[in-house]
Copies of this chain bind each other. A is one copy, B any other.
Amino acid sequence: MASEIPSGNAVVAQSGGPSAVINQSLVGVIEGLRGQKGVGRILGARHGVRGMVKDEFVDLTDLPQDRLDLVASTPSSALGSTRDKPDPAYCERILTGLKKHSIRSFFYIGGNDSSDTCRIVSEMASASGYEMRAYHVPKTIDCDLMMSDHTPGFASAARYVAMAFLGDNLDNRALPGIKINVVMGRHAGFLTGASALLRQREDDGPHVVCMPEVPFVFAEFAAKVEQVYARLGRCLIAISEGVQDAQGTPIMQLLAPTQERDAHGNLRLSGTGALGDTAAQMLAAKLTPAGGKPPRTRADTLGYAQRYWPDPSPVDSREAREVGRVAARTAFGGPTRGSIAIVRTGGAGSPNPGRPYGAEFKRVELTDVAAKTRHMPAEFLNGMDVTPAFVEWLRPLVGETPRVGWV
């Protein structure tokens, strides 16, 4: 029980790819910690667990509220982030750092790898008789954490992707051709599916949406593109950076087998236009009529803008803040370890679809989230497209979007 844990300092840190609202969660944790009994200083570790083993902390205890509000609305990880995935030896060093600074509560904002780090450190502390609290605060633009309807960071990235395809559909109408946009998402297609959110007219793109959950077969892909192109004279394509073949091998790996890997063993998918460019070349070659000119074919890789774009979804901003607060309060009022999940209580995809969108926050076990991946459910997938159910599920999350006129 929480009451058994001695007073001490608290630490908060940020991990993995930043998001547009990850600092809302940082500030939420600070706000949730303020006024809790048994909390001394509130420290921030620079660059995630790396700061904890290198003794790089910043004292956040006395930041005034206007400063906190400004930090909260600033995209990307204000404390710095890391791609380090701690092994047991690294976790021992983290624990040593925690003890050295009398830290009795640890909040780690990140994805499923961060949740796992939280779990290991927490278990090691228990085993060594060091009583502490450890909470994972969810963050990932990929929306691929178990137990959650969606994750903080996702809706802002989805907003960016939806706005990009709104604009690019108009661009592609104006100068018709085949256009590929590569979207982030290593294992889950939620973000790529967001490309379809703002379609209005029957012939609006994206016309082809390739997600990791649906095995990518180039011949089928090219056939669908050819069909759309024959009908409309254009074809707008959303393709996830994480598309895989039927054996689960990333297409990027097939195209670029020497592509580098990070410390987690994950293939590097972002920060290069290779997937889009290769797919564009293959499509152009495939769709060139005998003796004719290749169709106008272009590729953009939407890139890091998806996670840093400084125009976040208001719903996402509010929820990311609240997730941080709830994690801090639950750590002191409930079980000493856990993660926080967002549960949809109203609107499409909830038990009360007729009510307006609503969500609540509940504690889940670290082991329910750690090192697991959620995928798009079957009711959101329709081959190389998403279903209306997905669009209805997504709509309340992204905020106001521009209206469009035509002549």
Bound complex: CA of A108 vs CA of B173, how far in Å? 19
* Contact pattern, A 156-197, Cβ under 8 Å of B = 1, otherwise 0: 000000011011101101110001000000000000000000
A82-117 contacts to B, CB under 8 A, are: 82-83
Interface contact A305-B273, CB-CB below 8 Å: no
Per the bound structure, the CA–CA distance linking A37 and B248 in Å amounts to 68
Q: Are A300 and B299 in contact (CB under 8 A)?
A: no
Contact A270 B298 (CB under 8 A): yes
* Residue numbers in B under 8 Å from A214 (CB-CB): none
A401: chain B residues within 8 A (beta carbon): 310
Is A168 a contact partner of B304 (Cβ separation < 8 A)?
yes
A89 to chain B, nearest CB (A): 20
Please list the 3 inter-chain residue pairs (A to B) with the smallest Cβ-Cβ separation, ordered nearest first: A273-B273, A271-B298, A70-B405
Q: Which one of A179, A300, A401 has the greatest number of beta carbons of chain B within 10 Å? A: A300
CA distance A300 to B407 in the complex (A): 34
- In the assembled complex, the Cα of A405 lies from the Cα of B270 at a distance in Å of 27
A307 beta carbon closer than 8 Å to chain B: yes
Bound-complex Cα distance A274 to B272 (A): 9
- In the complex the two chains form, is A406's CB within 8 Å of B272's CB? no
Contacting pair B301 A402 (CB below 8 A) = no
Given contacts A18-B174, A168-B305, 16 further A-B contacts (CB under 8 A): A67-B407, A70-B404, A72-B405, A75-B170, A78-B405, A166-B310, A167-B308, A170-B308, A171-B307, A272-B273, A273-B301, A277-B277, A300-B301, A300-B304, A300-B305, A302-B305
When the two chains form their complex, are residues A81 and B404 in contact, meaning their CB atoms are under 8 A apart? no
A174/B299 in contact, CB under 8 A: no
Contact flags A129-169 to B (C-beta < 8 A → 1, else 0): 00000000000000000000000000000000001101110
Contacts of A406 in B (CB 8 A): 71, 74, 78
| Pairwise interchain contact A311-B311, C-beta atoms closer than 8 A | yes
Complexed CA–CA distance, A266 and B73 (Å)? 42
Bound form: Cα–Cα A23–B405 in Å: 10
Asked whether A73 lies within 8 Å of B18 as measured between CB atoms, the reply is: no
Residues of A within 8 A of B (CB): 14, 17-18, 20, 23, 44, 47, 58, 60, 63, 67, 69-83, 163-164, 166-168, 170-171, 173-175, 179, 270-274, 276-277, 280, 297-305, 307-311, 401-407
Complex CA–CA separation, A69 to B404 (angstroms): 10
Contact B271 A170 (CB under 8 A): no
State A201–B272 Cα separation when bound (angstroms). 28
Question: Which residue of chain B has the shortest Cβ distance to A81 in the bound complex?
Answer: B174
Pairwise interchain contact A167-B300, C-beta atoms closer than 8 A: no
CB < 8 Å: which of B71, B168, B300, B310 contacts A402?
B310
- The smallest C-beta distance from A161 to any residue of chain B, in angstroms, reads 11
Q: Are A407 and B71 in contact, with the CB atoms below 8 A?
A: yes
A158 to chain B, nearest CB (A): 15
CB within 8 Å for A67 and B14 given contacts A75-B167, A310-B167: no
Q: Which residues of B contact A76 (CB under 8 A)?
A: 167, 170-171, 173-174
Contact A74 B272 (CB under 8 A): no
Partner of A174, one of B20, B71, B80, B168: B80
Q: How far is the CA of A175 from the CA of B17 in the complex (A)?
A: 8
Set of chain B residues within 8 Å of A297, measured between Cβ atoms: 271
